[in-house]
Amino acid sequence: MGNKNKTISFRVNEDAFEALQEIAEERNISLSAVFRDYVDQLVEHDGRVQVVPEGDLEARVNDGEDDISFPPTVEVPKRFIREHERLELEAEHLREQLDEYKGYVNDLQDRLDDEEDEVLLLDELDDEEGSYQLR
């Protein structure tokens, strides 16, 4: 499929609407273009967009903060990244275990539903082919 445009609608108070109209008039663009520009920036920076008045940004630069970049970047130690990756792998392993346990419980529930009056012994379940092993 092609890239289709979608419509987003929301409500703002009257003051915000007037401020947005002024922004659009200053830039000589439509109000829709203001929102499209904002959404494009939001997508481009993974949702890390901060709207600040240009005067505030210029004041920061003039105060000696020449290295201002947006979105802000932070240097992360390698040990933190390794720990994060380890935790991701552990979480994936735990999700797999959870799925396995859910399958085991569902199998027991199905057997219980099929054999309402019979007693199921766990030792007998282990002897059957396709048995489960709890870790």
Q: What is the rounded average pLDDT of the residues 28-48?
A: 82
SS3 61: helix
What does DSSP assign to residue 50? Answer: -
Q: Which one is predicted more confidently, 126 or 7?
A: 7
pLDDT of residue 94: 96
Q: Would you say the pTM of this structure is higher than 0.95?
A: no
pLDDT at 97 over 90: yes
* 37 contacts: CB under 8 Å, gap ≥ 6: 29
pLDDT at 62 over 70: no
pLDDT of residue 77: 86
Average per-residue pLDDT for the chain: 77
Q: Which one is predicted more confidently, 63 or 102?
A: 102
Q: Which one is predicted more confidently, 118 or 90?
A: 90
Q: Give burial (CB, 10 Å; 0-12/13-18/19+) of 53.
A: exposed
pLDDT of residue 64: 54
